[in-house]
Structure 1
Amino acid sequence: MSAKQLILPLNQEQIRELRAGDRVELTGMMYTGRDAAHKRMAETLQAGGSLPVDLAGQTIYYVGPTPAKPGQVIGSAGPTTSSRMDPYTPVLLAQGLKGMIGKGSRSEAVKNAIVQSEAVYFAAIGGAGALIAKTIRSAEMVAYHDLGTEAIYRLEVERFPVIVINDGVGGDLYQQSLDSTRND
């Protein structure tokens, strides 16, 4: 099965058509953010402040890229374990975040928030950071500069490979895989 080609930012029609297990290639603009950036965004919102970037309709890639070598756009850019963002994810989904990319499973609270927000969680291949970096056409640090590699970057990507893990209707590829092995 060939990968679905999607243009970022995601729209509701695209999200509604995605199902757990779909292979996807993303092209367009996304943001990055890891634990420290997520914590700061959540604390900012709790204090009544506004975010440094508008998350409405956007996708966040959970990555702390390594510095670029001369002639490169970005260094290695492999996914971070997504569960580390789980305490902050529901509040960001409430801000209109529509896509998340990382590795590993999500908590029940996050899976419920994904369905409620009609969002999607994708997995990128862990251990393939150098390969993934080749799909990144530009990288610009846009917020929380003091966090270094954990700052928020704006990335332009082309055919960035992911797979849908949690879709907007409650599908969960990891759970489906567990269920199918139990039934064998």
Structure 2
Amino acid sequence: MSPRPLSLPLDDAVLPDLRSGDSVLLSGEMLTARDAAHARFAAAIRAGEELPVDVDGATICFVGPTPARPGHPIGSAGPTTASRCDPYSPLLVERGLRGMVGKGRRSEEVKSSMREHGCVYLGAVEGTAALLSQCVTAAEVVAYEDLGTEAVRRIVVRDFPVLVVNDLHGGDLYDEGPARWRRSR
């Protein structure tokens, strides 16, 4: 089955159709933010301050790209471990975040928040940072520039390959994938 192309920002009507294990190619704008930026987002929310970026309808990729080589918008852009952002993710999902891209499992609290508020978690393949960066056509720092490579960026991607890990129906590829493999043996 060939990957399904999806435009960013993610359309709320498309989210219920996504199932764990689906292969997807993302195209459009998304934000980048790792745990340091997420901690600042959470502090701002708790202080009643506005966030420096609008997360309503957005997708955040958990990545801190390396510096760009001449002629490229960013350097290598491999996903970071999503659980680093777990303490903060529900606060953003409650504010309309529709997608997250990273690697690794998510906590039960995050998955529950995603099901309740309509957000999916997408997994990027580890070890493909240089290849993933080739899918990025533009990048600009939009918040927390002092964080260097972990600053929040708005990036434009074309055919950025991901797998649906956690869907709106409770599907979890980390549980279902091994079970499918065992059944096929």
Tell me the TM-score range normalised by the shorter chain: over 0.9
State the match for 2:20 in structure 1.
20
1:158 partner letter: R
CA displacement 1:106-165 (0-9 Å, x = unmatched): 011111111011110000011101000000000000000111111100000000000000
The within-5 A match list for 1:46-61 is 46-61=46-61
Relative to the length of structure 1, the TM-score reads 0.97
For structure 1, the residue ranges without an aligned partner over 5 or more in a row are none
State the match for 1:152 in structure 2.
152
Residue range with higher mean Cα deviation, 120-129 or 172-181 = 172-181
State the match for 1:68 in structure 2.
68
Q: CA RMSD in A?
A: 1.1
For structure 2, the residue ranges without an aligned partner over 5 or more in a row are none
**Deviation of the 1:182 alpha carbon:** 5.8
**8 Å Cα contact 1:118-1:169 kept in structure 2:** no
**Deviation of the 1:180 alpha carbon:** 3.7
SS in 2 for 1:12: coil
2:158 partner letter: E
1:117 partner letter: H
Relative to the length of structure 2, the TM-score reads 0.97
The within-5 A match list for 1:100-111 is 100-111=100-111
SS in 2 for 1:174: helix
State the match for 1:143 in structure 2.
143
How far apart, CA to CA, are the structure 1 residues paired with 2:180 and 2:29? 35
SS in 2 for 1:153: strand
2:127 partner letter: G
SS in 2 for 1:67: coil
2:126 partner letter: G
How far apart, CA to CA, are the structure 2 residues paired with 1:83 and 1:182? 26
State the match for 1:177 in structure 2.
177
State the match for 1:95 in structure 2.
95
Q: How many residues align?
A: 184
SS in 2 for 1:101: strand
How far apart, CA to CA, are the structure 2 residues paired with 1:28 and 1:177? 28
**Deviation of the 1:179 alpha carbon:** 3.3
State the match for 1:122 in structure 2.
122
